[in-house]
């Protein structure tokens, strides 16, 4: 917010030719340890659509996990921006595509067969929609297979900051050094108001994105207000401190839940997202003290919930959640002890 106010002074040139936007390229090139080309957008949906549209022709196929955000909740944006591209959905435990499954899917697809849509891109979500992480060797293996067969690699990084903190990885290691060609760099989930970015590492791809960026309506006249947020996100490692706090809060809540019986986690808790099934007594106890959790379908068939922790969760709310879990576990233990039958004599 301070950055937004600071750039609201004087007269500036429009459509990204301002002094604030001019700083983006150098700041993000330093962040990624190589020259990059950055295109601010107003939403992750626009970022994913633009990035995938730039690497997928109308006759192209995008390989992705069947639960990917681009499939389930982006209204066909990749198909729209590519002018007719199609998505090929792949299975995988904990919302991750395995290198083996990807390779087999490519072989089944038929590379270079004019009767089929061209295999053009793979989209990898880091962290995944299940809050799980691809390790660097997994990213590299998927990228190697893609590049060997002529596909480009897109990384949907809506929660890339949380992934970087959790894995103690550098932005370079998680992207271009692992073979990624274009990144949707998410910032709104860690503090910005309405600013995301498409990051390209190749000048030819950047030229394509330059035209698409304008045509899609994302070359904003007052770009400095978005650019100021994207710069502030990097300053003093704000991205790192916010993501670290969110991940740490999730660790606290995970620890509290593990102290209660009959709690079942659907996925490993790698970042700030928790997918969990709770006993009804515990979910009622949380609701009674004002903590209402978002219902989420679970493959086990049990009532599940999705918890997303934030860098700005209040200490009082976290402590209340922990206390409620402790009280529930204590009461359950007392109840279990009271229901035990005395041993018979004789």
pTM over 0.85, yes/no: yes
Residue 337, pLDDT score:
64
Task: Identify which has the larger pLDDT, 344 or 133.
Answer: 133
Please, where in the chain does CATH 3.90.1150.10 lie?
A: 240-335
**What is d(CA 50, CA 39) in angstroms, rounded to the nearest whole number?**
10
Residue with tokens 């997918």: 275
Q: Above pLDDT 70, what percent of the chain?
A: 96
Give residue-wise pLDDT tens across range 27-63: 999 999 999 999 999 999 999 999 999 999 999 999 9
Residue 340, pLDDT score:
57
Write the DSSP symbol of residue 340: P
Give residue-wise pLDDT tens across range 251-296: 999 999 999 999 999 999 999 999 999 999 999 999 999 999 999 9
Residue with tokens 């500036």: 12
Q: To the nearest whole number, what is the mean pLDDT of the chain?
A: 93
Q: Report which of 60, 56, 86, 51 is spatially closest to residue 71, judged by C-alpha positions.
A: 86
**Is a pLDDT exceeding 60 seen at residue 342?**
no
Q: How confident is the model at residue 336 (pLDDT cuts 50, 70, 90)?
A: low
Contact 60, 85 (CB under 8 A): yes
- The per-type count for the chain, helices as H runs and strands as E runs, is 15, 11
CA 230 to chain centroid, in Å, comes to 17
Contact 148, 90 (CB under 8 A): no
Quick check: helix, strand or coil at residue 285? helix
Poorest-pLDDT segment among 4-13, 29-38, 179-188, 253-262: 4-13
Q: Report which of 49, 100, 57 is spatially closest to residue 215, judged by C-alpha positions.
A: 49
Q: Report which of 135, 127, 154 is spatially closest to residue 143, judged by C-alpha positions.
A: 154
**Is a pLDDT exceeding 80 seen at residue 226?**
yes
Residue 110, pLDDT score:
84
Write the DSSP symbol of residue 194: S
CA torsion through residues 130, 171, 50, 64, sign: negative
Residue 339, pLDDT score:
63
Question: For 221-243, what is the mean pLDDT?
Answer: 96
Radius of gyration of the chain (CA): 23
Question: For 155-159, what is the mean pLDDT?
Answer: 97
- Label residue 100 exposed, middle or buried (CB < 10 Å: 0-12, 13-18, 19+): exposed
Give residue-wise pLDDT tens across range 287-317: 999 999 999 988 767 779 999 999 999 999 9
- CATH code of domain 2-237: 3.40.640.10
Residue 346, pLDDT score:
36
Write the DSSP symbol of residue 305: E
Residue 331, pLDDT score:
83
Peptide bond into 127 cis (omega under 30): yes
**What is d(CA 167, CA 163) in angstroms, rounded to the nearest whole number?**
6
- CATH code of domain 240-335: 3.90.1150.10
């Amino acid at each position: 917010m301070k950055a937004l106010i600071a750039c609201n002074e004087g007269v500036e040139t429009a459509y990204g030719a301002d002094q604030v936007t001019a700083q983006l390229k150098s700041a993000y090139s330093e962040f990624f340890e190589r020259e990059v080309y950055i295109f601010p957008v107003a939403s992750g949906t626009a970022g994913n659509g633009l990035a995938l549209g730039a690497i997928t022709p109308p006759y192209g196929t995008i390989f992705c996990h069947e639960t990917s955000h681009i499939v389930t909740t982006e209204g066909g944006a990749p198909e729209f921006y590519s002018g007719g591209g199609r998505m090929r959905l792949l299975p995988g435990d904990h919302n991750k595509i395995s290198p083996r499954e990807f390779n087999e899917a490519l072989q089944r697809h038929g590379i270079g067969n004019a009767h089929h849509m061209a295999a053009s891109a793979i989209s990898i979500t880091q962290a995944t929609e299940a809050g799980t992480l691809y390790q660097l060797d997994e990213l590299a293996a998927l990228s190697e297979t893609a590049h060997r067969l002529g596909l480009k690699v897109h990384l949907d990084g809506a929660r890339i900051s949380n992934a970087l903190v959790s894995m103690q990885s550098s932005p370079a290691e998680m992207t271009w050094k692992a073979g990624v060609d274009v990144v949707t760099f998410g910032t709104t989930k860690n503090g910005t108001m309405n600013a995301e970015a498409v990051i390209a590492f190749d000048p030819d791809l950047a030229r394509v994105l330059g035209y698409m960026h304008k045509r899609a309506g994302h070359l904003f006249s007052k770009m400095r207000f978005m650019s100021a947020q994207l710069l502030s996100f990097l300053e003093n490692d704000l991205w790192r401190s916010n993501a670290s706090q969110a991940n740490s809060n999730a660790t606290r809540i995970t620890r509290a839940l593990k102290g209660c019986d009959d709690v079942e986690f659907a996925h490993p808790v790698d970042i700030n997202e928790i997918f969990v099934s709770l006993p009804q007594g515990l979910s009622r106890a949380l609701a009674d003290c004002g903590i209402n959790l978002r219902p989420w379908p679970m493959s086990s068939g049990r009532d599940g919930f999705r918890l997303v922790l934030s860098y700005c969760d209040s200490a009082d709310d976290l402590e209340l959640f922990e206390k409620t879990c402790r009280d529930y576990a204590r009461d359950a233990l007392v109840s279990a002890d009271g229901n035990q039958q005395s041993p018979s004599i004789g």
